[in-house]
A and B are shown apart, each in its own frame.
Chain A
Amino acid sequence: DAGVIQSPRHEVTEMGQEVTLRCKPISGHNSLFWYRQTMMRGLELLIYFNNNVPIDDSGMPEDRFSAKMPNASFSTLKIQPSEPRDSAVYFCASRRSLAGGPHEQFFGPGTRLTVL
């Protein structure tokens, strides 16, 4: 089975442009997580969905960030307008959530975003 798929793998854009990151979770997984990783701040949870519903978006930095999960096999993270401080690696992770069950997450390869 394929792992978590993210696209694009690299994105270079200019300040002010809209950026859309995409994620396809592992088939059968019903929880999806978006993380951002930088040297300074480490791995930060931005938002997570359970059964396509956003559960916790407290990590979303500001209104410039938005995330959607229109169906069980696709999610997007959008930054509009982008700023240089958004430069980071963005990871998507998924998990099969069962009541009382394990909570291991499986990470995608990440999207390295550079905002000039």
Chain B
Amino acid sequence: QKEVEQNSGPLSVPEGAIASLNCTYSDRVSQSFFWYRQYSGKSPELIMSIYSNGDKEDGRFTAQLNKASQYVSLLIRDSQPSDSATYLCAVNKPNAGKSTFGDGTTLTVKP
């Protein structure tokens, strides 16, 4: 079992819809959670971080964390074609210097 698992996709949604990306992690002590967006041919870019159970909203993006169920999700409201990218979930354990990345979910938003 991988430490961090994501549906590889591809996930396709129409423009204006809500895109839902999911990530599960295996180590219950994990403490910090991140979503990175990576456009084709570019480097990963941090878009959301979340540390506490519940929801965290930033513009059209909402990260949701449920530590009891060991999953973290990213919702993108009013999806735009410019949101088409691969989304990487990353997880940190307490006092761990490194993040563990999932393999990413590729999202395509169709006009």
The residues of A with any CB-CB pair to B shorter than 8 Å are 31, 33, 42-43, 45, 48, 50, 55-56, 91, 97, 102-110
Contacts and interface: CB of A to CB of B under 8 A. Distances in A.
Contacts of B49: 102, 104
B104 A105 contact: no
B43 A103 contact: no
B44 A109 contact: no
Contacts of B98: 33, 45, 48, 56
Contact of A103 (B32, B36, B104): B32
Contacts of B104: 42-43
Interface in B43-88: 43-46, 49, 88
Which 3 A-B pairs give the minimum distances between C-beta atoms?
A107-B43, A42-B103, A103-B92
Contacts of A109: 42-43
B25 interface: no
Nearest to B48: A104
Identify whether the interface residues of A are mostly helix, strand, loop, or mixed: strand
Contacts of A104: 34, 46, 49
B97 A55 contact: yes
Contacts of A33: 98
B32 A43 contact: no
B12 interface: no
B99 interface: yes
Contacts of A31: 97
Contacts of B45: 107
Contacts of A91: 43-44
Contacts of A97: 97
B43 A110 contact: yes
A44 to B, nearest CB: 9
Contact of B99 (A42, A103, A108): A103
A4 B59 CA distance: 26
A108 B43 contact: yes
Contacts of B43: 91, 107-110
Given A42-B104, A102-B49, A103-B92, A56 B44 contact: no
